[in-house]
Amino acid sequence: MKCAFHKGRGKCRMPDCHNQVYARKLCVRHGGKKICLRPHCTAHARGNAFCLKHGGVAKRRTCEVDGCVKLAHANHKCVAHGGGRYCKSPGCSFHARFAGLCLQCNSDLTPLDLRNHVMLPLDDVDFSILQVLAKEFTPNACKIGKPHRRGMLGLNMVEA
């Protein structure tokens, strides 16, 4: 089962290959990515005919501070030189990681404001709804039973 992002990707055109297509109806193993033209180099070409080691072009720009080779984020600077965005939670000075919040402030959020909702006994829950939801969150999409890095709680269902 494929996630929503990868569900439209086809399979490699080579016989008996079930890998996902990368380019030209081929997977990476069968030539979907170009190899560096430098003799005896097996790295993938980046931006032109060569790998980064042999003159390929990086697709992302580096920090504009002299001597810094880190990738630029906001304002053409790396996070260490002021290019990162800060958490938008009041009083927090950490860098934002997801949805404008740092990891700590993101994990503090609850999916719903549970204070205004009536909590039903477990016997009143329709388990067929939970079964449908559990199929959407397969082990390939996230680790069931463990917190997801973007704040989604793991699903542990026990039928009564």
Kindly state whether residues 116 and 160 are assigned to the same domain: yes
Separation between Cα atoms, residue 160 and residue 155, nearest integer Å: 15
pLDDT band for 144, please (50, 70, 90 cuts): very low
Band (159; pLDDT cuts 50, 70, 90): very low
One domain for residues 116 and 104: no
Rounded to whole angstroms, how far apart are CA atoms 101 and 90? 10
Specify whether 1 is located in the same domain as 54.
Answer: yes
- Beta strands, E only, 1-160: none
94 and 105 co-located in one domain = yes
Is residue 72 located within the same domain as residue 101? Answer: yes
Same domain? 29 vs 82: no
89-113 core/surface letters (b: 16 or more CB in 10 A; e: else): beeeeeebbeeebbbebbeeeeeee
Residue 72's domain spans which residues? 60-109
From the number of C-beta atoms within 10 Å of its C-beta (0-12, 13-18, 19+), residue 8 rates as: exposed
The reply to whether 38 and 21 lie within a common domain is yes
Regarding whether 6 and 30 lie in a shared domain, the answer is yes
Task: Provide the whole-model pTM.
Answer: 0.35
Domain final position from 73, 90, 109: 109
Quick: pLDDT tens for 31-76. Answer: 888 889 999 998 888 878 888 888 887 677 888 999 988 888 878 8
**How many distinct structural domains can be found in the chain?**
3
The residue among 73, 88, 109 that closes a domain is 109
Are 66 and 45 found together in one domain? no
Q: What is the pLDDT of residues 113-124, one digit of tens each?
A: 555 556 666 665
4 shares its domain with 33: yes
